[in-house]
Each structure stands twice: as structure tokens, then as C-alpha cells.
Amino acid sequence: MSLTQDRPELTAADLQTSRSRRARSHTVRWLFMGAAAVTVLVSALIIWTVASEAWTYISQVELDKLTDIGWFPRRGLFDLSTLLVNTLQISVIAMLVAVPSGFGAAIYLSEYAHPRVRKVMKPTLELLASVPSVVLGVFAISFITPSILTNFFDDINYFNKLAAGIAVGLLVIPLIASIAEDSLRAVPLALREASAGLGARKVTTSIRVVLPAALSGLMAATIVGFSRAIGETMVVTIASGGGDTSLFNLSILESGGTLTSAMAALGLGTDQVAGNNLAFQSLYFLGALLFAITLVLNMLGDVIVRRLRNRY
Amino acid sequence: MSQEPEASASDVTVPDALAPKDQSRARIDVSAVAAMAPQRVETSTVFECADVDVYYTDFRALRDVTLDVNSHEVTALIGPSGCGKTTFLRCFNRMNDLIEGARVEGTINYHGVDLYQDEVDPVEVRRRVGMVFQKPNPFPKSIYDNVAYGPRLAGVKRSEIDDVVEGSLTRAALWDEVKDRLKMSAYGLSGGQQQRLCIARAIAVQPDVVLMDEPCSALDPIATGRIEELIAELKTDYTIIIVTHNMQQAARISDMTAFFSVQANEMGQRTGELVEYAPTSLIFTNPDDPRTEAYITGRVG
């Protein structure tokens, strides 16, 4: 009691903040909100531009031009299957390269590597992800095709889908390895101990307990990697050729344009394509298609990941 | 595996699938016994520990532990936090090998074989010396697959696995509660059920010894009671070493009790040591060491 007696009586003003401080916190709030709004606005603008030009294309193109002998936009031949097949082939090759080595690296880093080794290797791996894709594109045509693939295939085209797929795979490895490693490390130590306690060797524990427990994360890594492979542009444009025109061809030893490289070629040649047989608008149509594919893939991934998610 | 006379005379019925089968044990034993010793010494002593020290890198966590563990008894390790009882428990199945920098000195003989000699494969040790952990840690798999995990590793035939699963779950007093949902996730079970599942999983490989690291610390009193009943039944078939914080639990279920204490050296490092090891009835009524008495009467720890 004696302690509180000397204290002056509390007034409402004591608990109020000054007007200028309140104004400042309001301003800060609006600034951050503005920053958030800009990103939303830009996304909306992109979608609107792409969608409206894509709509122009769809409504004006003769539909039988969408299935033809190949992709020759300036001649008005827009065979979509050419680009879709090439995109799929290159992405699948990329995943065949990236998933085994990415998962392998992840298992090594998470289960086997000494902490000191991991401390150095994980950042190195992530550094690899920052190699510019143009470098890998050049690597594909200056090394993968001439020094490796020509030894196995006599009649390989200098620009070919196989080399492009391998290079895209190399590009995606660090991404997959990094996400996969995170999900393996998230598996509780208690499960590894339980397995070891039952007389399981490390490799058995890794394959039968840790991998299944991390399944949702591994699926996520695969899907993110696949999205990245489909969206990769520069490697494919350089290594696979045929972005501007390509004949439908199932052989992976031949050149062939993808959705992305066709867009890049169209985008680079705007002076020639503008007002020419809807070629300019086809660029936006491809963009919309690519966007839709990646969106569906990501949503699918989300569903799969949610269904497989484990509570430990 | 030697069955104590008083164990077979007990009124507990052992399901066929889990009664020690000479054939199946023999199949699992062959390679390991060759790796460990020509012949298993018939003795009622399972573990003989002499001057056991455990280090984590340079830090000495436990020093000079000497004690023998008898077969078909429950041996309780008690003591205050940080006294090294869990560290000591994990020596018996070489679980400390999984910890980077952990090192065990002194000798631990298992049926007369030095567990820490170079030729011993920790994996073979762990197939004989099973473990139940502090927190229930079922695999994110079905109830069935959890129990079948160990037998599958040990190469038990596919056709026999059903029986092993049923026998183990029955032995762990869980069968009636889960028999209709064997294919469902183990995570759907309550904490107490999960821990009994972990016990079923451990005994499914027909171990010789079961180590339990505070198996009831995450459970409510009712679930704890069930686990304690289970432990009392299990000792007819298995040698059990249990770490517990709960002195009443040690008094209720164990035959022998080891009391550990902890002492800090001049550098502030806390090293655990064995203070007293005696029959449980003696430890709790007439302890030798004043530190034991202080602990069990609640004056310390």
C-alpha cells in the first residue's frame, strides 16, 4: 500500500500515444501495403495482357492450323503438338537426370555426410543453382553434344533435344537436391533410432523409413523441378535449336523447339513478326498455355503433397 | 535361450508365435554367434559391466560403472537428471554408436562376449537387444507394418509374418484393441497404445533383452499402469532394463535397482556415476549409501 501512495493518479492521457507517432505508424502500414499491392497489380496486368492477346489469337486463328506438319508461325502453321511433345521430351529427360542424382545427393547429405562435410557441401550445391542457364546452354553445345553424345549416336543433330534435356537436368539437380534434403532432414531422429534399434542397417533405415516418411517433400521436390524444367528457356533455345521453326519430330536426337524457345524466338524477332499471320499473337497464346500447364502442375503437386503428408 | 524354471512355472501363458522357438532363433543366430563367440555361455548373468566410462568427444558423461544384469529380471536405473542413466542404457545395444563422438571404455560382456570388440556388428547386437524409447516413436506406417518391420529385416518368411504380428501384439496387450484396424496408420492410436505398439514392435524380433528408456514418461497414469503390468509379464520371456524417473515405478516393477548420481568436476562438467546397486527391496528400505537414501526419501533430486 505504501508503495502506491506516492504515485500520481493515472490519467487517460498517460496511456495514449502522440498523434505524430500514430500518423507515422499509419504511413508505414500504407507503404508496406503499397508494396504488396504492386506485386499483385503487376501479376494481374501480366495475366490480362497475355490473356487478351491469347484470346485474339484463339478467336482469329483457323483451328486446323493448330495441327499441321510443324511450328512455322510466320507461314501461319501453328502445330501445337510439335512444341508440346518437344517440351515434354526435354522435361522428362531432364527429370531422368535430375531426380536420381538429386535424391542421391540429398540422401548422402542428410544420412551419411559428416556434419562438417554437409556444412560445406550444402551451400556449394545451392551455389550450383545460381549458374546462369545461358552457361549451361553453351555447355550443352560445346561439350555434351560434341564430346559425349557423338560417341554414342552417329547421326545426332548438332542441336538436339537430348543434350538440351541433359543440360536442363543439370540445372535442376541442385533445386531438387536442396528441397529433398530439407524434407529428409525433417524426418525425426526418433524414427531412425527406432529402425536402428530393430537391427536395421543405415541403408535399410534410409530406404524403408526415412524416404517413405519424407515422401511428400520428395514429391514436392520432383514437381517443383518439373515445373522448372518446363519453364526453362535459355538452355533449350541454345541447345535444342528450332525455336523459330521446327518440324514435328519424335526423335530426341533431332532439334526441336519447345513452348519456351518458340516464345523466345518470337519475342526476339518482333520487327518481323508484328502483324504477320497472327505470329505475334501466338507468342501470347503460348505464354498462356505455359502458364496454365505450370499452374495445373503446381496445383496437382499441392494435392499430392497434402494427401501424402505425414504427421510424425 | 534359457528359460528360468520359475518363469515357466508362472501362470502367464505365452502365445505360440512368441514362445522362444529354437528353430527360428537358430536361424537368426548362426551368423552372429559365429561372429561373436563359438558358444553361448549358459549363465543367469546377461550383461557384465566393468569400469564402464562413456565420453561424448572430450566430455566424460559416465564413469566407472560396474554391475551385472541378471536374466529374466527387471533392472531399473534411477537417478536425477543428467546422471547418465540413459547414456548407460544405450551402451547395451550400442545405440551410442549413432551419436557422433560418443565413445565407450571399459568392458560390457553380453553372455560372455565383449560387446565393444572390433568384430562385433552393432546391427547383430540390436537384433538381440531391443529398445523402447521415451517418446512413442511408431513409424509413419500401418500398425501391421510397424510390427512386421523387424521380422522382415530378420528374414522371417512372408507366410509367418501374420502370426508374428498377432503374437507380438497379443503379448503387448494391444491385439484386441487393434485387430480390426491393422492396416490403418499407427498415428491413429493413443499415446499409450502407440507405446504398447512400440513394445510389440521390439519383441516381434524375439529379442533376448528389452531396453526401456523412460517408457511411461509421456503417458497418463492409466496408460502407465498398463505398461507396468506388461513389463511384469514380459520378464518371463525377456530380460528388461528400464530407465525411470519415477521411483515408485522402480519400486513396483523392478527386481534390481541401480542408483546413479551426478557430480560436477572443477570445470563444471557433470559426470554420472553408479552409487549403489542392490535388490530393489533393499534399496528402498535399507540403502547403504546416504546419497541413495536422500534421493529416495525425496530430500534430493
Distance from CA of A106 to the nearest CA of B (A): 19
Output the pLDDT for position A21: 85
Q: Name which of B98, B123, B137 is nearest A199 (Cβ-Cβ).
A: B123
Residues 6+ away with beta carbon under 8 Å from A91: A165, A168, A226, A229, A230
DSSP string covering B231-261, please?
HHHHTTTSEEEEE-S-HHHHHHH-SEEEEEE
Distance from CA of A195 to the nearest CA of B (A): 8
Q: Tell me: do A182 and A44 sit in the same domain.
A: no
**ipTM of the predicted structure?**
0.81
Residue A2 lies in a domain: no
- Domain limits at A31? 12-60
CB neighbour burial string for B208-226, b if at least 16 within 10 angstroms, e if fewer: bbbbbbbbbebbeeebbeb
Look at the alpha carbons of B219, B223, B224, B228 in this order and tell me if their dihedral is positive or negative. Answer: negative
Q: Tell me: do A211 and A245 sit in the same domain.
A: yes
| Chain A / chain B CB contacts < 8 angstroms | 66
What CATH number is associated with residue A256?
A: 1.10.3720.10
Say yes or no: B155 contacts chain A, CB-CB below 8 A.
no
Residue A28 lies in a domain: yes
Say yes or no: B32 contacts chain A, CB-CB below 8 A.
no
- Rounded to an integer, what distance in angstroms lies between the CA atom of residue B171 and that of residue B232? 12
Residue from A183, A198, A307 to probe the interface with B (highest B Cβ count within 10 Å): A198
DSSP string covering B111-166, please?
TTEETTSTT--HHHHHHHEEEE-SS----SSBHHHHHHHHHHHTT--HHHHHHHHH
The cell numbers describing A123, all together, are 551451400
Q: Is B198 within 8 Å of A194 when comparing Cβ atoms?
A: yes
What is the mean predicted confidence (pLDDT) over A238-248? 85
B124 chain-A contacts, CB cut-off 8 A: 199
Over the stretch B83-115, which tens digit does the pLDDT of each residue have?
A: 999 999 999 999 998 888 899 999 999 999 999
> CA A21 → CA A13, A14, A25, distances in Å?
14, 15, 6
> CA B171 → CA A194, B72, B140, B150, B208, distances in Å?
19, 16, 22, 16, 15
The cell numbers describing A291, all together, are 502458364
- Rounded to an integer, what distance in angstroms lies between the CA atom of residue B26 and that of residue A39? 69
A301 has pLDDT over 50: yes
Output the pLDDT for position A307: 80
What three-state secondary structure class fits B109?
Answer: strand
Distance from CA of B29 to the nearest CA of A (A): 13
B154 chain-A contacts, CB cut-off 8 A: 199
> CA B125 → CA B31, B121, B255, distances in Å?
12, 7, 24
- Rounded to an integer, what distance in angstroms lies between the CA atom of residue A271 and that of residue A280? 10
Q: Tell me: do A51 and A73 sit in the same domain.
A: no
Is residue B204 within 8 A of residue B168, CB to CB? The reply is: yes
Residue B229 CB neighbour total at 10 angstroms: 13
- pLDDT tier for residue A17 given thresholds of 50, 70 and 90: confident
Q: Tell me: do A291 and A231 sit in the same domain.
A: yes
Q: Tell me: do A165 and A274 sit in the same domain.
A: yes
Residue segments in chain B with a per-residue pLDDT below the cut of 70: 1-43, 299-301
B:175-214 residues touching chain A, CB 8 A cutoff: 187, 198, 201-202, 205
> Is A312 or A279 the better-scoring residue by pLDDT?
A279
> Is A180 or A247 the better-scoring residue by pLDDT?
A180
Q: Name which of A115, A188, A204 is nearest B153 (Cβ-Cβ).
A: A204
What three-state secondary structure class fits A7?
Answer: coil
A171 has pLDDT over 50: yes
- Rounded to an integer, what distance in angstroms lies between the CA atom of residue B146 and that of residue B195? 12
Q: Tell me: do A70 and A56 sit in the same domain.
A: no
Distance from CA of B291 to the nearest CA of A (A): 33
Q: Tell me: do A108 and A44 sit in the same domain.
A: no
Number of domains in chain A: 2
Is residue B139 within 8 A of residue A209, CB to CB? The reply is: yes
Q: Tell me: do A173 and A36 sit in the same domain.
A: no
Q: Tell me: do A41 and A73 sit in the same domain.
A: no
- Rounded to an integer, what distance in angstroms lies between the CA atom of residue A281 and that of residue A260? 15
Residues 6+ away with beta carbon under 8 Å from B5: none
What domains are there in chain B, each with its CATH number? 5-296 (3.40.50.300)
Residue A1 lies in a domain: no
Over the stretch A114-146, which tens digit does the pLDDT of each residue have?
A: 889 999 999 998 888 888 999 999 999 999 999
Residue A106 lies in a domain: yes
A281 has pLDDT over 90: no
Residue type, A158: Y
Q: Tell me: do A51 and A167 sit in the same domain.
A: no
Q: Name which of A115, A190, A200 is nearest B153 (Cβ-Cβ).
A: A200
Q: Tell me: do A48 and A142 sit in the same domain.
A: no
Give the bridge partners for B76, in sequence order.
Answer: B242, B257
Burial class from Cβ neighbours inside 10 Å (0-12, 13-18, 19+) for residue A132 reads exposed
Q: Name which of A114, A190, A212 is nearest B137 (Cβ-Cβ).
A: A190
Q: Name which of B123, B139, B205 is nearest A201 (Cβ-Cβ).
A: B123
Residue A29 lies in a domain: yes
Q: In this predicted structure, which of A1-15, A235-249, B149-163 has the lowest mean pLDDT?
A: A1-15
DSSP string covering B42-98, please?
--SEEEEEEEEEEEETTEEEEEEEEEEEETTSEEEEE-STTSSHHHHHTTTTTGGGG
DSSP string covering B215-235, please?
TTTTS-HHHHHHHHHHHHHHT
Domain stops at, among A60, A79, A94 = A60
- Rounded to an integer, what distance in angstroms lies between the CA atom of residue B13 and that of residue B236? 10
Say yes or no: B133 contacts chain A, CB-CB below 8 A.
yes
Q: Tell me: do A98 and A17 sit in the same domain.
A: no
The cell numbers describing A220, all together, are 514436392
Q: In this predicted structure, which of A57-66, A97-106, A219-228, A301-310 has the lowest mean pLDDT?
A: A301-310
Distance from CA of B98 to the nearest CA of A (A): 8
Q: Is A192 within 8 Å of B93 when comparing Cβ atoms?
A: no
Residue A4 lies in a domain: no
Over the stretch A100-121, which tens digit does the pLDDT of each residue have?
A: 999 999 999 999 998 899 999 9
What three-state secondary structure class fits A16?
Answer: coil
Over the stretch A73-94, which tens digit does the pLDDT of each residue have?
A: 888 888 999 999 999 999 999 9
Say yes or no: B56 contacts chain A, CB-CB below 8 A.
no
